[in-house]
Structure 1
C-alpha cells in the first residue's frame, strides 16, 4: 500500500492586495483558521410532462463562488486590522491569494463583508473576517 500524501495546513498564507491596483499581495499576519470558498452550481428545474417515471429533472445553472472566512490573532490597530478594514471600507471586491503549504495557489476577488473581533477574559483576542467571492477562482501550481 502506498504511503499517504496528506499534508497539514501549517504554512498557509492569506494575502490581500493593499490597493485595487496593487500587483503584489500583503500577507495577513497570524491567520490560524481559513474556510476557503465552496463553489456551488445553481440548479434549474427542467421537469416536463414526460419526465421519466414522474421524477424531477435538473440542469446546471450559474456557479456561485461562495464565501471565504478566516480567523486571526487580533491586535487592535495593527497592520492586519488596518489592511482588512481599509479593504472593507471600499465596499468593493479586492484581489486575495490563498497559498497552500505546497505552493499551490487560489486567487480570487473577495468582498469583505464582516469583521468580528472577540475579547474573551482569559484567552487571546481573535477576529473573524467574512467575505463573498466575486467571480471565478484561479488555481495554479507553485511557480518555480
Structure 2
C-alpha cells in the first residue's frame, strides 16, 4: 500500500471511569500531528574513539506530544472539555483513532496532560484553536479494527 487517506482520524478523551471508560471524540479537529516520539542520545566519545568520530548510546525515550488544530467553537461541549482538562491537576487518557470504523482501524492510546491552548481570531479567516497534549509514559499503538 502506498499510503492511507487520513480523513476521519479522531482525537478522543476518556471520562476516566474506573470500569469501562468512555472516550468522547473532540469536535471540529482539522489537523492532528503525533505522537512525536523522541529518544535521547548519550555521548560516549573518548580520546580513543575510532577515527575521531563521536560515539553515542541510546538514552531515555520520550512519548512526545500530539498537536491539534480545531475550528474553534466556544459553544462546543467537547472543546470546552479541553479547557477543563487544562485546568485539572491529574493526568487523563486520550486516543488518536486512525481509519475509525474500518478493519484497518489503528488506535494510539496514552496518558497525557494539556500543556498549551491557543486561540486565534484573524480578521479574514476562521477562528482556530491549537492544543498541545504532552504524553507521559509510553504511547501504545494497536490494531483495533472490527
TM-score (norm 2): 0.88
Alignment of 1:1-144 (within 5 A): 4-19=1-16, 21=18, 23-101=21-99, 102-144=104-146
Structure 1 segments of 4+ aligned residues over 6 angstroms from their partners: none
> Aligned equivalents of 1:8 and 1:60: distance in 2?
34
SS class of match (1:53): helix
Contact 1:74 1:125 (8 Å CA) reproduced:
yes
Q: With the length of structure 1 as denominator, give the TM-score of the two structures.
A: 0.89
Cα offsets for 1:89-119 (capped at 9, x unmatched) = 1133311000001410100112101111111
- 1:115, 1:14 → 2: CA distance? 15
- Between 1:12-21 and 1:41-50, the stretch displaced more is 12-21
Q: State the alpha-carbon separation in 2 of the partners of residues 6 and 88 from structure 1.
A: 34
Q: Say how many residue pairs are matched.
A: 141
Secondary structure at the counterpart of residue 81 of structure 1? helix
RMSD of equivalent CA atoms: 1.7
Note the C-alpha offset of 1:7. Answer: 1.5
Q: Which structure 1 segments of 5+ residues have no match?
A: none
* Counterpart-to-counterpart distance in 2, 1:20 and 1:110: 16
